Amino acid sequence: MLSPSELQQVKQRFGIIGVDDGLNRAIDVAVQVANTDLSVLVTGESGVGKENIPRIIHNYSARKHNTFIAVNCGAIPEGTIDSELFGHEKGAFTGAISDRKGYFEEANGGTIFLDEIGEMPMATQARLLRVLEAGEFIKVGSSKVLKTNVRVIAATNVNLPKAIEDGRFREDLYYRLNTVPVYIPPLRERKADIPMLFRKFAADFAEKNKMPGVRLTDDAQQLLMQFSWPGNIRQLKNVAEQISILSEEREISAEMLLPYIKPLSQERSLVLVDNSSSAQSAGGAKWTESEREVLYQILFDMRKEINDLKQLLNKAVGKTIVPETDVDDDFSRFSTLHSAEGLHFSSPEHDPDAGTVAPSVVVNSAFSSSSKINNNATVDTDVFFEPENRTIEEMQKEMIKKSLERNGGNRKLAADELKISERTLYRKIKKFGLDI
């Protein structure tokens, strides 16, 4: 266990800012495990500073005078990653005009940091497992077994147990890498560190650009700590640098800070509630901006499908069940919510924490009336058109999948159709595992 003074020395040496217990624990584990050759798996969200842990381990180990190589597995194309990691022989593939050493050969005796290990192809995972278990590898295009003595440290923001269930990551490799787990907490769990990090980034930017630094008022610091910071430290640094260069004032209040945070916080939660007392008593649902936009598209697409179903039913019975104007008018009234403060779900069964909505609460308002077929039969449109309760994620996934299919997999066209950015669409595709 490191003493407070030793812990502070490590932080100063590697430029780490923060007093959070979770961060201190991660640093302490890194120093303790440094003098062993055990594999280490660093986990945490993107932007939390996972890259500091491998450098701490390497520099406090007996390998500190040997090579340290950091490799971003997610940035290397699947077709070349084996060559990059293990090397290749001349003529192994088109363009292999000479022999090449891979990173595992170059880092012999040192440390190799495999960042974004969750993005590594399955075939490469098998090769890596052999290195970890036997210290052996074979170059691409060769049959000769080579030896290497490398300390492997891996990092990922992917939920590897879930990736194992989905067949995207080898279970045996996971346990081999996860000999010593190190977790870096996200910035939203390190609220006391947020003002400290902002001051550091603002001071560094001011010194580098030879300009006066900015200072946050107390209310601005409170505002910083209230945000969830989905981009973590990278996002906070971005905000600090933007304010430093764009703000005319050097003392930043909460009101002045808000415009810089809001555009970058696409993932922050917004409480969308009706202003009426009944809505307040029923509670509001927490939505992100992108989720709300996709939901609107789902509901409008649902309207079209319902109209199509009604037209087919009309042809079958030779009668008009519900005039088209009724549907359009009701959905027009619903669409005005887009410009209001938010959405209100009056159903007492709605659970805001579970993130589940009952579309039937809205849809039934548009189709609550019964309509006559012939003189005696009555069709209750609720029976025909009430969808099952589904989570927002399920509805998003279905809508995005349909849009991609309609547009032949063209993400730009699908994003335009869904009224969301390509970046948001790409993130949702990756999240839902859609590969069209």
Q: CA 203, CA 304: separation in Å to the nearest integer?
A: 55
Q: Is the dihedral of CA 370, 371, 377, 379 positive or negative?
A: negative
pLDDT above 80: residue 273 = no
User: Residue 317: what residue type?
Assistant: V
pLDDT above 90: residue 380 = no
Domains for the chain: give ranges and CATH numbers: 4-185 (3.40.50.300), 188-264 (1.10.8.60), 277-388 (no CATH)
Residue 370: both structure tokens together: 């019964």
By residue count, the chain amounts to 436
Q: Residues 352-366: what's their mean pLDDT?
A: 38
| Cβ–Cβ under 8 Å, residues 387 and 360 | yes
pLDDT value of residue 292:
54
pLDDT value of residue 95:
83
Short-list 254, 235, 117, CA closest to 187: 235
pLDDT above 90: residue 288 = no
DSSP for 38-59, written as a single string = --EEEE--TTS-TTHHHHHHHH
Q: CA 72, CA 70: separation in Å to the nearest integer?
A: 7
pLDDT value of residue 421:
80
161-213 residue pLDDT tens:
999 999 999 999 999 999 999 999 999 999 999 999 999 999 999 999 898 99
pLDDT value of residue 377:
42
For residue 245, the number of C-alpha atoms closer than 13 Å in the C-beta half-sphere is 10
| Cβ–Cβ under 8 Å, residues 392 and 431 | no
312-348 residue pLDDT tens:
766 666 544 444 444 444 434 334 444 333 333 333 3
Residue 408 DSSP symbol = T
Number of other CB atoms surrounding residue 268 within 10 Å: 16
Kindly state the helix (H) or strand (E) to which residue 10 belongs, with its residue range.
Answer: helix 4-14
Pairing relationship of beta strands 251-252 and 215-216 according to DSSP bridges: parallel
Give the percent of the chain with pLDDT over 90: 51
Which residues partner with 136 through β-bridges?
A: 147
Which residues partner with 72 through β-bridges?
A: 115
Own/partner pairs, 216-220, CB within 8 angstroms, 24+ separation: 216/251, 216/252, 216/257, 217/251, 217/252, 217/253, 217/254, 219/253, 219/254, 220/252, 220/253, 220/254, 220/256, 220/257
Q: Residues 218-237: what's their mean pLDDT?
A: 92
Which residues partner with 145 through β-bridges?
A: 138
Could you tell me the end-to-end alpha-carbon distance of the chain, in angstroms, rounded to an integer?
50
pLDDT above 90: residue 8 = yes
pLDDT value of residue 307:
67
Q: Residues 421-432: what's their mean pLDDT?
A: 81
Task: Among 26-40, 219-233, 258-272, 329-343, name the one with the lowest average pLDDT.
Answer: 329-343
Q: CA 160, CA 169: separation in Å to the nearest integer?
A: 7
- Using CB atoms within 10 A of its CB, is residue 3 exposed (0-12), middle (13-18) or buried (19+)? exposed
Short-list 413, 364, 410, CA closest to 385: 364
pLDDT value of residue 356:
39
Backbone φ and ψ of 396, nearest 5° = -60, -45
pLDDT value of residue 304:
62
Short-list 199, 225, 224, 223, CA closest to 213: 199
Give me the sheet containing 151-156, strands edge to edge.
Answer: 68-72, 111-115, 151-156, 40-43, 180-183
Stronger pLDDT, 51 or 1, i.e. the higher one = 51
pLDDT value of residue 243:
92
Q: Residues 102-111: what's their mean pLDDT?
A: 95
30-56 residue pLDDT tens:
999 999 999 999 999 999 999 999 999
* Per-chain mean pLDDT for the chain: 78
Q: Is the dihedral of CA 146, 89, 142, 115 positive or negative?
A: positive
**Strongest mean pLDDT among 8-22, 244-258, 328-342, 352-366:** 8-22
Give the helix, strand, coil percentages of the chain, each rounded to 5: 55, 15, 35
